[in-house]
Structure 1
Amino acid sequence: MCLVALWPSILGLALITGIVIAPVCLQKLGRRLTNQLSTLPALTGWALLIFAKDPTTLLVSRFLQGFGMGIQAASAPISIAEYSAPKYRGAFLATIAFSFSTGMLVAHVFGTLLYWRSAAMACGSCYVISLILISLSPETPPYLSTKGKFKECRKSFRWLRGWGSQSEKELEILLNCQKQNNFQIRQVSKWKVYLETVKKPEFYKPTVIMMFMFVLFQMSGMTVVPSYTLPMMAEVTDGTIEPYTSMLMVDVVRFATAVLACIVVNKLNRRTVLFIGISISVISLFVTSLLLYLKDFGYISDEYKWTPLIPTLIYIFGKTLGILPIPWAIAGEIFPLAYRSLGSGISGMFLSLMFFVVVKTAPTSFRQIGVKGTFCIYGLSIAICGAFLFYLLPETKGKTLYEIECHFKGIKEDKKSIEMDEKGRILELGTVEEG
């Protein structure tokens, strides 16, 4: 009983620990090394799970997995955003949601078909593949530029983006802006920099937006549903569908929608995708609750007791389409380069705290007011967060990270003028102020 009570809590505490450490690692060690190191505690956690013989080892294993996940949660959006071009950044950031959904599906398939120690070995092997792929990648160009490694920055940028004229323009903007920032930072103390940072709109506005984003993320049931799929679906279907079958149905819908989201996020505006997902989720949650209440009062006959399953699957579709990918996409784009590690750490901390609160309250909520009442609370929470984000969230699709930074600074007409010859070489770089 003690293990059951601590199992979700230990993961939340581990996530907080990992996210607290992540900003320091990202700033001091770089994106690439931080991502490499994040795989090691996760690998150790899975190895302990394979050989575990007592509850203490299981809890230590869970903590190490959560610790690695915490570092990854803070570093992955930043790394992907800094690697990718504006045109494809949305699709690449949406792969975080795709990976989440794929992981849930694969883990549930392994758990259903394999002995639990074998399943742990199969899941742990994914981190070995991840470590190899990260090791083959270069450091991100923006991080190299913050360290004054401009030669390495050019090499990494061109390895990732090629030698196109548009890419060269973005590279020169990055280098020149960072040279100015590096010079300014050297003129003042670090403490003064931190004190001034929290007062800047380009820092506190994105931070507030990400707080609402991650409240939305957690209150949509994003982490609760995978943890309580079996009892939740047993109540939704009233036993008319075998619980493991309904769990796999949820996983398949989530996986297929995550694949679709990678395409949709790159084609449509971020705000459009987010609010479509919010609308679908809110409506389907309330419809599911209504059907469950009608069933309890005897207004739905026995042969149609499975009908709440339909809006439940639509809810899974809606939240996976918009609420799952967009917060991670925005998290990688919205913070200025100078504050990206710090901002990601603060917003990630809020994500972990919300995870802890939601997971700890979920069992009591399901027990006291049932799935129908819990879905009503989730639907109302999503609607409230969506209302705030409608007024706070700017559109970021197709914009460079520098342009997004200018938006929060309130600079509307700040453009970099770059002239290039027919071979793509820079002829002139300057700042043009229009109006």
Structure 2
Amino acid sequence: MSEKGYMEPGMEEMKKSENAVLQFMRQLLAVSGVVLYMIGTGANIAYPGVLLEQLRQSDSVLRLTPDHESWIASILGLALISGIVVAPFCLQKFGRRLTNQLSTLPALAGWGLLIAARAPTALLISRSLQGFGMGIQAACAPVSIAEYSAPKHRGAFLATIAFSFATGMLLAHTFGTLLYWRSAAVACASFYLVSLILISLSPETPPYLASVGKYNECCKSFRWLRGYTEESEKELSVLLDSQKNKAVTVTKESRLKMIASIFKKPEFYKPTIIMMFMFILFQISGMTVVPSYTVPMMDEVTDKAIEPYTSMLMVDVVRFVTAVIGCGVVNRLNRRTVLFIGVYVSVTSLFCAALLLYLRDFGYIPEEYKWVPAIPTLTYIFGKTLGILTIPWAIAGEIFPLQYRSLGSGISGMFLSIMFFVVVKTAPTSFRQIGVKGTFCVYGLCIAICGAFLFFLLPETKGKTLYEIECHFKGINETSDVSDPCEKDKMLELKKVEEG
């Protein structure tokens, strides 16, 4: 194929097939760097589950108090806040690629300090560095994946975020089961190093380049990812035209007025509110508590009838297998359907597990069946992984319009980090005061409340173009409410391209 996209007669179909594979592989390369980082994030979240268990041993080189333990597990949430605060600035000022690269550096530094730690303070500082990098990446990951992906691959690529979390958790617990905690930390840190290499091999995302007026670079990046086809060239033309028009409009307003006007636009504040509830649901479901405290939680659930590390790996395997299933399900079923299946299964399973634990405490369950509460507990892991882990990240990548993506991701991500800290920090106290059974009841009630809000707030996005989603939040009926004929033609062209 020449620079202008010319093809020899009779070779067009073969070239199209070859180019489609090449384009997919290039998009996969660009996305894989982010995916490797999110595997590291899953390992960060799960690592305390093995670290604290090994440090409780009598021959441990570090001695921790219960307060130390809760801080080591929860300080990621506080550090996430600082990372998410700077993420919108980084995304807009430095771009997606450089922001992804920079986010790996504090994570690698954190793992390095953890490997060399000789005191609890060093562990806390290392976890803070990891959390800071995670905060930047929490806002950057769905944005980067969505902007690298062609519309037909976007859903599957976004679903890999949930898969990455589950994979990282499984690997961290596996490493911690087989290796000394310092050696396990070396293995976990390797994900960030590979991530940095893959990110460095990828170009900047085309939408970001267009948004900052680098139109030639945008064309090069877009064509590297998507090749030269009639459909992709139309999509590129629409992208460039829309950003050029927006650039002219922005120069007529002061920055303060522009920010104020953004917060008043329904296509910004409605998706932001939805993502706030999504991330609150994500954390209040115990998504980060379970990996951090899997061993003590499962000890109480099974009454130590199952060996601790075996029960931990049972949870990880269920989570991993469900995440693999979720990658396929999210492209076949409606987003709302998958989310609310997860909510229903999680709530029902949590209450069933709590009921069985209460019955066992009162002596209604025979000794040989005292492990039975593990069944609804594992069902709860299945439900929350299928819907509550998978869907928020898929929605986050497609619900915000391009011009508000950095800001919206940062604000909604703030709720993710705050709830991370609150839920993980209070978990040990909750386990001590009301037990796992009482904690399950609280989580089940909170999931039900958040699910009820989202039932009325969340629109269906599967099968809809980004244009149609934006129209929904604007309250207009596609092009029927657009008076400018030129703008109507442009919107119809965008809709046609995205559907293609």
For Structure 1 versus Structure 2, the TM-score category normalised by the shorter chain is over 0.9
Deviation at 1:173, TM superposition (A): 2.3
> Is residue 408 of structure 1 aligned with residue 473 of structure 2?
yes
TM-score normalised per structure 1: 0.94
> Is residue 16 of structure 1 aligned with residue 81 of structure 2?
yes
* Match for residue 131 of structure 1 among 192, 196, 204: 196
- Residue in 2 aligned with 1:385? 450
- Residue in 2 aligned with 1:117? 182
> Is residue 343 of structure 1 aligned with residue 377 of structure 2?
no
Structure-to-structure mapping, 1:27-106, within 5 angstroms: 27-106=92-171
Deviation at 1:381, TM superposition (A): 1.0
Q: Which moved more, 1:41-50 or 1:405-414?
A: 405-414
The one-letter code sitting in structure 1 at the alignment partner of 2:302 is T
Deviation at 1:85, TM superposition (A): 2.0
Give yes or no for contact 2:300–2:436 (8 Å, CA) kept in 1: yes
SS in 2 for 1:137: coil
Deviation at 1:5, TM superposition (A): 3.9
- Residue in 2 aligned with 1:316? 381
Structure-to-structure mapping, 1:15-414, within 5 angstroms: 15-414=80-479
Residues in 1 aligned to 2:470 and 2:223: alpha-carbon distance in whole angstroms: 23
Residues in 2 aligned to 1:431 and 1:372: alpha-carbon distance in whole angstroms: 53
- Residue in 1 aligned with 2:53? none
Give yes or no for contact 1:86–1:398 (8 Å, CA) kept in 2: no
Q: Percent identity?
A: 76
Q: Which moved more, 1:52-61 or 1:96-105?
A: 52-61
- Residue in 2 aligned with 1:421? none
Deviation at 1:10, TM superposition (A): 2.2
- Distance change >3 Å, CA 108–CA 259, structure 1 → 2: same
Residues in 2 aligned to 1:166 and 1:214: alpha-carbon distance in whole angstroms: 35
- Distance change >3 Å, CA 326–CA 295, structure 1 → 2: same
Give yes or no for contact 2:301–2:436 (8 Å, CA) kept in 1: yes
- Distance change >3 Å, CA 214–CA 274, structure 1 → 2: same
Cα RMSD of the aligned pairs, angstroms, is 1.7
SS in 2 for 1:324: helix
Structure 1: where are the runs of 5+ without partners? 416-427
- Distance change >3 Å, CA 170–CA 406, structure 1 → 2: farther
Residues in 2 aligned to 1:135 and 1:265: alpha-carbon distance in whole angstroms: 29
SS in 2 for 1:414: helix
- Distance change >3 Å, CA 430–CA 12, structure 1 → 2: closer
The one-letter code sitting in structure 2 at the alignment partner of 1:321 is L
Residues in 2 aligned to 1:322 and 1:162: alpha-carbon distance in whole angstroms: 34
Give yes or no for contact 1:14–1:66 (8 Å, CA) kept in 2: yes
TM-score normalised per structure 2: 0.82
Give yes or no for contact 1:86–1:397 (8 Å, CA) kept in 2: no
Give yes or no for contact 1:94–1:261 (8 Å, CA) kept in 2: yes
Deviation at 1:152, TM superposition (A): 1.8
Q: Kindly provide the CA deviation profile for residues 37-70 of structure 1, in whole angstroms up to 9, marking residues without a partner as x.
A: 0000000111111112222222111111111111
Structure 2: where are the runs of 5+ without partners? 1-64, 481-487, 496-500
Residues in 2 aligned to 1:154 and 1:429: alpha-carbon distance in whole angstroms: 22
Residues in 1 aligned to 2:85 and 2:116: alpha-carbon distance in whole angstroms: 29
SS in 2 for 1:267: coil
Deviation at 1:432, TM superposition (A): 5.5
Give yes or no for contact 1:86–1:399 (8 Å, CA) kept in 2: no
Give yes or no for contact 1:277–1:320 (8 Å, CA) kept in 2: yes
Residues in 1 aligned to 2:164 and 2:215: alpha-carbon distance in whole angstroms: 33
Q: Kindly provide the CA deviation profile for residues 280-333 of structure 1, in whole angstroms up to 9, marking residues without a partner as x.
A: 111111111111111111111111111111111111011111100111111111
Give yes or no for contact 2:71–2:425 (8 Å, CA) kept in 1: no
SS in 2 for 1:399: coil
Deviation at 1:190, TM superposition (A): 0.5
- Distance change >3 Å, CA 205–CA 326, structure 1 → 2: same
Aligned residues: 422
- Distance change >3 Å, CA 399–CA 128, structure 1 → 2: same
Residues in 2 aligned to 1:120 and 1:380: alpha-carbon distance in whole angstroms: 36
Give yes or no for contact 2:349–2:376 (8 Å, CA) kept in 1: yes
- Distance change >3 Å, CA 61–CA 431, structure 1 → 2: closer
The one-letter code sitting in structure 2 at the alignment partner of 1:93 is L
Residues in 2 aligned to 1:229 and 1:432: alpha-carbon distance in whole angstroms: 51
Q: Which moved more, 1:146-155 or 1:89-98?
A: 146-155
